[in-house]
Chain A
């Protein structure tokens, strides 16, 4: 990685930490330990299912919210506050800035997710007193969640490169919701004909396929994840984020700063 991209990413990470973004971990920890204690008291044999389902869903939602709310401001806030003036008057290319910001935020989310993952495994240990072989698939599910964050960050960055922060948040969140239903949409597209069919197919394949990246209930039941899916999802997420980032760079490169 280009060293300037690294410096920018690190500064972005430092900013997030100092702005107390990681404090969300406290809320997460409270939620998870509360749930673990509760299911430990009342249920029989579904403790693991509940902890994995609830834990991973919380990891995903917390992260997506952070990704959207920081993502939309990554570049636009710097334009607004004019902190960019003294950065771009240095030997920093505009694409380096955008890419650095992206890695700063995804880096923050990775650190955040690692902490949360530790929490999930602690809760698992608490309710079932031991780790099982099938717990490795929880790791895969967490990896997929991180891939989702990459796409969400890239989309937030892309939308904020040409629209207001509020609209960017709305667009990104809408795409996250629609994308989570992508598999259903594709099914719908297959059985619809005519113009509607074409439209449904177009949308189904354009929106990010978050449903393929969501294996939470599968691993909660202890089912394995196919190696092929891991490979496919990795390539898909990287390609999709790269395209969104490229779009953001293309727009930002032509932009007059306020």
Chain B
């Protein structure tokens, strides 16, 4: 144990073409890919009397390099707002953020990141190939090899067949594919995707899942927002849940879904729920010729004994695992403070109405 400690944390391979220092930099020093430091955004709304509307409460979040990070939240939660702040498309009311250790307005950052906006829209006078070539130019992809890279990207998102069609003739899902291609075109270290699966057919969704997996295996950092929890569960190392502009929780997917709830689910053939089962604390429901019952773990033996006595055929028995969905829904429950706020708001509303009459 002791003797392991003095060892350097990196190995220098002399047969490698990479320089030792690069090896050190890229594989050992884990740097935060995204550091969000109390980023806050309010929009002015209202036509005559402008009032600020808080779209994002001070958000503090760190995403490590090499991580696939899911950003979850209902409609209007502030996911897109966060991404737009990080891309420098809108400016924060307060707070800062750093990407790959640099300030947001540092142009060096931009060549290392890729961004897919939600419902992307592109210059519709260009063909898919021309658009990617143009974006390659803007991202500083060297002229030599740019055309090949563009073809490779078109291939990767399944658009080779429509490469010479003007984008005004593209369907929504095809535009989404172009969006994905332009986000990874310049081989960025860090990719931001705002609802990458939206508008895609089942095959397309699967391809995007594969794409994200592939990016992970290439060591890229992926930060994506989504409504599809099963995708987040399958793809992400960690997720954050945001609701009404407020961060409600961050966690590693493995932790969130590994635990059991101290309950088991048993399914067996039966026309009705056996009387003894309810006494064991089971919640049961009948579906077709089967009964599905959830009961405390410690009652497992008693339940099996009961089934044997009644000569009922067991189909399955499994611990009830936590799912991301439960975590998500639990995180969306209003906090106490909020409940009070809402009540206040309702009271004020009443008062206003009272005055108006």
Contacts and interface: CB of A to CB of B under 8 A. Distances in A.
Interface of A: 3-4, 7-8, 11, 14-15, 18-19, 81-93, 254, 256-257
Contacts of A256: 43, 89-91
30 contacts: A4-B137, A7-B134, A7-B137, A7-B138, A8-B138, A11-B134, A15-B123, A18-B125, A82-B117, A82-B120, A83-B123, A85-B84, A85-B115, A86-B122, A86-B182, A87-B138, A89-B87, A89-B89, A89-B110, A89-B113, A90-B110, A90-B135, A90-B138, A90-B139, A91-B107, A91-B108, A93-B107, A254-B91, A257-B84, A257-B89
Interface of B: 43, 84, 87-91, 107-108, 110-111, 113-115, 117, 120-123, 125-126, 134-135, 137-140, 179, 182, 186, 192
A91 B90 contact: no
A178 B114 CA distance: 47
A15 B121 contact: no
Contact of B117 (A3, A8, A86, A92): A86
Contacts of B90: 256-257
A88 B89 CA distance: 7
Contact of A88 (B87, B134, B186): B87
Nearest to A79: B89
A11 to B, nearest CB: 6
B120 A86 contact: yes
Contact of B138 (A81, A83, A92): A92
B115 A89 contact: yes
B121 A83 contact: yes
A86 B135 contact: yes
Contacts of B43: 256
Given A14-B125, A86-B135, A91-B140, 4 more contacts: A7-B138, A18-B125, A86-B122, A257-B89
Contact of A86 (B115, B125, B137): B115
Contacts of B123: 11, 15, 83
A83 B89 CA distance: 12
B111 A90 contact: yes
Contacts of B88: 88-89
A92 B111 CA distance: 9
B93 to A, nearest CB: 10
Most chain B CB within a 10 A radius of its CB, from A7, A88, A91, A256:
A91
B121 A82 contact: yes
A15 B140 CA distance: 22
Contacts of B182: 86
Contacts of A93: 107
B259 to A, nearest CB: 38
A4 B125 contact: no
Contacts of B117: 82, 85-86
B198 to A, nearest CB: 15
Smallest CB-CB A-B distances: 8 pairs: A89-B115, A256-B90, A91-B110, A18-B125, A85-B117, A257-B89, A89-B87, A91-B111
Contacts of B125: 14-15, 18-19
A190 to B, nearest CB: 44
Contacts of B140: 91
A243 to B, nearest CB: 24
Contacts of A85: 84, 87, 89, 115, 117, 120
A257 B126 CA distance: 23
A18 to B, nearest CB: 4
A4 B122 CA distance: 18
